[in-house]
């Protein structure tokens, strides 16, 4: 536990030394909201949760890069040669990023509500539950991508394009009602679809938490499935290239 | 290399083997290092030094043999065994977006140091390696040599029982190399068992009490440096005459010149004093060039 906290503190410092990626992950969706919040079908109750879920997916490359840069700095082998167990290293690296992604999505919901007139009829706890499980799914997907990519070029291509695909097909950019039928058919394969479904319930209705169980359950299944695949595929000793060489 | 009587080795390798595909890189390596001993792991590039060090550090899984660190099987003990060792590789492994002290604090804390102990370890290491002028600077802003010095510090700050240095002084200037040697000697005096891997024969001879000479993954000689030099390193003179190298098995240049009929045809002379270099030549028929590659003692590439 101590070693996990030591690594988590380091990761937090490294992230805060260069906070630009996280500032952009909050700033750019706010810019999008400025011209999308009213024009989109469904108004802010559709556009804000959509962009929250969509830009949450861009946390996937951020988590992935946190692993690859250790390979580039040769510190990955240092961590491997340290007394820290693999699980402690993984937890220490991912936990601070989970917290930052949670904060990113919470801030966007808050900004959407305060500045862009997004309604809010559910409870904060319900939104926190949804965001929490969505962030877990993002982290598990990020780890799965890290486990299959050999180079940072592969990671960035797969993670950014994957985030765009999951966000677009899940209804994060445009309402599914405006998209072709086949997109509606494949949308449930994206965690963004389920996050949106849950968030829309929270912002539009004051309902018991049990109404969110399906969305939370499916997002949890995404997290568990990607986590299991990662556990099967991830090799702590697999060399990875930070730069193409 | 047998451990000194009555002293349990801090590191013991027995019949270590490691292959990559069909290439056997480490082939039955056996040696041990007692507390306070500095053992040089000597060999040309490709001899298996880094692979051996990587196996000890847990970065590579050996195909066979055993590695004991402070009496514990390194494969089974895992983190507990790794807590006792520190690795300094040829390439620095520091966080460039942290300053030197931040890096030292992280590695000390990761090894288990807390509060006062951590502050003391960091302070002493900074003083020992004379890193004062580098404090407050990001590692990314340091020169290659400064970075490597900080890298050595990040290993020393963990107060290891076993210190592995793999070509650790490769990027250092003479002054910084001397500082590292001082620190390694101080660690040794404090009971740390040191494995010093290098292709620099003079450096190993200066620093190490014992040496394991390896070639193509096999031990070709092991023991006290002085004893090996006495037994195999008598020195020689190499004379290049009409493009051919003539070797005299004595470091006496005068005697060698007197033995030659036509002194005017001598194109080059080279005196190899009693040293590890002479030991290496005597045992392998090769010498190690400045880049660490094995060359035939006659000055050309070895066959194959």
Higher pLDDT, B12 or B246: B12
pLDDT given at position B1: 57
Query: What confidence tier does B297 reach under pLDDT thresholds 50, 70, 90?
Result: low
pLDDT given at position B101: 95
pLDDT given at position A148: 94
Question: Does the pLDDT at position B82 exceed 80?
Answer: yes
Of A226-240, B49-63, B74-88, B224-238, which range is least confident? B224-238
* Mean pLDDT of the region B184-211: 90
Higher pLDDT, A25 or B254: A25
Measured in angstroms, the CA of B67 and the nearest CA of chain A are apart by 14
Question: Does the pLDDT at position B302 exceed 50?
Answer: no
pLDDT given at position A117: 85
Neighbours of A137 (CB within 10 A): 28
Neighbours of B92 (CB within 10 A): 26
Chain B residues within 8 A of A78 when measuring between CB atoms? 87, 93, 107
Probe site for chain B from A18, A78, A93, A245 (most B CB atoms < 10 A) = A78
Question: Does the pLDDT at position B126 exceed 60?
Answer: yes
Question: Does the pLDDT at position B88 exceed 50?
Answer: yes
Identify the DSSP state of B208.
Answer: -
Which helix or strand (DSSP H or E) is residue B20 part of? strand B11-20
Give contacts of B 64-123 with A, CB under 8 A: 78-80, 82-83, 85, 87, 89, 91-98, 102, 106-107, 109-112
Closest by CA to B199, choosing from B297, B87, B294, is B294
Tokens of B301: 């590439």
Which helix or strand (DSSP H or E) is residue A10 part of? helix A2-17
**Residues of chain A scoring pLDDT < 70:** 37-41, 244-245
Closest by CA to B239, choosing from B218, B258, B226, is B258
Distance, in Å, from the CA atom of B101 to the CA atom of B203, rounded to the nearest integer, reads: 29
Q: What DSSP assignment string belongs to chain A? A: -HHHHHHHHHHHHHHHHS-HHHHHHHHHHHHHHHHHTTTSTTTHHHHHHHHHHHHHHTHHHHHHHHHHHHHHTTHHHHHHTSS--HHHHHHHHHHHHHHHHHHHHHHHHHHHHHHS-----S-HHHHHHHHHHHHHHHHHHHHHHHHH-SBHHHHHHHHHHHHHHHHHHTTSSS-GGGS-HHHHHHGGGSHHHHHHHHHHHHHH----GGGGHHHHHHHHHHHHHHHHHHHHH--TT---BSS--
Query: What confidence tier does B91 reach under pLDDT thresholds 50, 70, 90?
Result: confident
Distance, in Å, from the CA atom of A183 to the CA atom of A92, rounded to the nearest integer, reads: 37
Q: Kindly determine whether residue B98 and residue A78, on different chains, have CB atoms separated by under 8 Å.
A: no
Q: How many Å is the Cα radius of gyration of chain B?
A: 21
* Facing B79 at nearest CB: one of A17, A75, A83: A83
Q: Read off the pLDDT of residues A165-197 as tens digits, 9 standing for 90 and up.
A: 999 999 888 888 888 999 999 999 999 999 999
pLDDT given at position B105: 96
Measured in angstroms, the CA of B269 and the nearest CA of chain A are apart by 43
pLDDT given at position B46: 83
* Facing A18 at nearest CB: one of B87, B97, B112: B97
Share of chain B above pLDDT 70, in %: 91
| Chain A: residue whose CA lies nearest to B97 | A14
CA distances from A239 to A60, A154, B90, B148, B228 (A): 20, 14, 17, 22, 39
| Chain B: residue whose CA lies nearest to A6 | B110
Chain B residues within 8 A of A10 when measuring between CB atoms? 95, 98, 106
Give contacts of A 221-240 with B, CB under 8 A: 237
The owner of tokens 């070509």 is: B167
pLDDT given at position B299: 47
Q: pTM above 0.80? A: yes
pLDDT given at position B304: 33
* Mean pLDDT of the region B121-136: 91
pLDDT given at position A66: 92
Please give the span between the terminal C-alpha atoms of chain B, in angstroms, as a whole number: 30
* Mean pLDDT of the region B252-259: 82
pLDDT given at position A99: 95
Query: What confidence tier does B233 reach under pLDDT thresholds 50, 70, 90?
Result: low
* Mean pLDDT of the region B101-108: 96
Q: Kindly determine whether residue B110 and residue A81, on different chains, have CB atoms separated by under 8 Å.
A: no
pLDDT given at position A240: 84
| Chain A: residue whose CA lies nearest to B104 | A10
Distance, in Å, from the CA atom of B265 to the CA atom of B86, rounded to the nearest integer, reads: 54
Probe site for chain A from B86, B89, B110 (most A CB atoms < 10 A) = B110
Distance, in Å, from the CA atom of A90 to the CA atom of B45, rounded to the nearest integer, reads: 34
Probe site for chain B from A8, A19, A82, A86 (most B CB atoms < 10 A) = A82
pLDDT given at position A41: 65
């Amino acid at each position: 536990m101590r070693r996990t906290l030591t690594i988590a503190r380091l990761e937090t410092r490294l992230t805060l030394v260069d906070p630009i990626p996280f500032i952009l992950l909050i700033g750019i969706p706010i810019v999008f909201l400025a011209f999308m919040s009213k024009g989109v079908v469904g108004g802010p109750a559709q556009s804000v949760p959509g962009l929250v879920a969509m830009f949450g997916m861009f946390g996937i490359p951020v988590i992935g890069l946190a692993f690859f840069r250790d390979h580039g700095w040769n510190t990955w082998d240092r961590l491997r040669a340290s007394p820290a167990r693999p699980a402690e290293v993984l937890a220490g690296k991912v936990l601070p990023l989970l917290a930052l992604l949670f904060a990113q999505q919470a801030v966007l919901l808050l900004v959407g509500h305060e500045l862009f007139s997004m309604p809010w009829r559910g409870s904060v706890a319900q939104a926190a539950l949804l965001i929490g499980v969505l962030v877990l799914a993002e982290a598990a997907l990020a780890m799965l991508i890290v486990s299959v990519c050999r180079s940072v070029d592969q990671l960035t291509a797969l993670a950014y394009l994957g985030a765009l695909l999951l966000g677009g097909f899940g209804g994060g950019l445009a309402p599914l009602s405006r998209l072709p039928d086949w997109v509606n058919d494949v949308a449930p394969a994206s965690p963004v679809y389920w996050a949106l479904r849950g968030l829309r319930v929270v912002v539009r209705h004051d309902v018991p938490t049990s109404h969110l169980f399906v969305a939370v359950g499916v997002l949890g299944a995404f997290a568990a499935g990607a986590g299991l695949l990662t556990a099967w595929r991830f090799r702590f000793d697999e060399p990875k290239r930070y730069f193409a060489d | 290399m047998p451990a000194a009587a009555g002293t349990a080795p801090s590191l013991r390798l027995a019949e270590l083997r490691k292959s990559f595909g069909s290439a056997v890189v480490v082939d039955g390596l056996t040696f041990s290092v007692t507390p306070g001993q500095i053992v040089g792991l000597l060999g040309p590039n490709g001899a298996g030094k880094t692979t051996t060090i990587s196996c000890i550090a847990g970065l590579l899984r050996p195909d066979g043999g055993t590695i004991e660190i402070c009496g514990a099987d390194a494969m089974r003990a895992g983190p507990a065994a790794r807590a006792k060792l520190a690795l300094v590789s040829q390439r620095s492994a520091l966080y460039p977006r942290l300053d030197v002290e931040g890096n030292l604090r992280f590695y000390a804390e990761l090894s288990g140091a807390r509060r006062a102990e951590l502050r003391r370890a960091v302070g002493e290491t900074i003083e020992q390696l004379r890193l004062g002028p580098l404090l407050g600077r990001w590692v990314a802003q340091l020169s290659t040599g400064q970075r490597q010095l900080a890298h050595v510090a990040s290993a020393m700050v963990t107060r290891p029982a076993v210190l592995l240095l793999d070509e650790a002084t490769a990027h250092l200037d003479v002054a910084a190399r001397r500082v590292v040697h001082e620190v390694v000697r101080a660690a040794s005096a404090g009971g740390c068992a040191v494995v010093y891997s290098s292709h620099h024969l003079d450096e190993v001879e200066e620093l190490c009490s014992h040496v394991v000479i390896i070639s193509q993954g096999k031990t070709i000689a092991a023991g006290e440096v002085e004893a090996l030099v006495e037994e195999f390193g008598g020195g020689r003179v190499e004379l290049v005459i009409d493009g051919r190298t003539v070797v005299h098995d004595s470091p006496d240049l005068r005697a060698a010149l007197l033995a030659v009929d036509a002194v005017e045809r001598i194109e080059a002379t080279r005196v190899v004093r009693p040293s590890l270099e002479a030991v290496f030549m005597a045992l392998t028929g090769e010498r190690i060039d400045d880049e660490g590659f094995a060359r035939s003692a006659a000055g050309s590439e070895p066959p194959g």
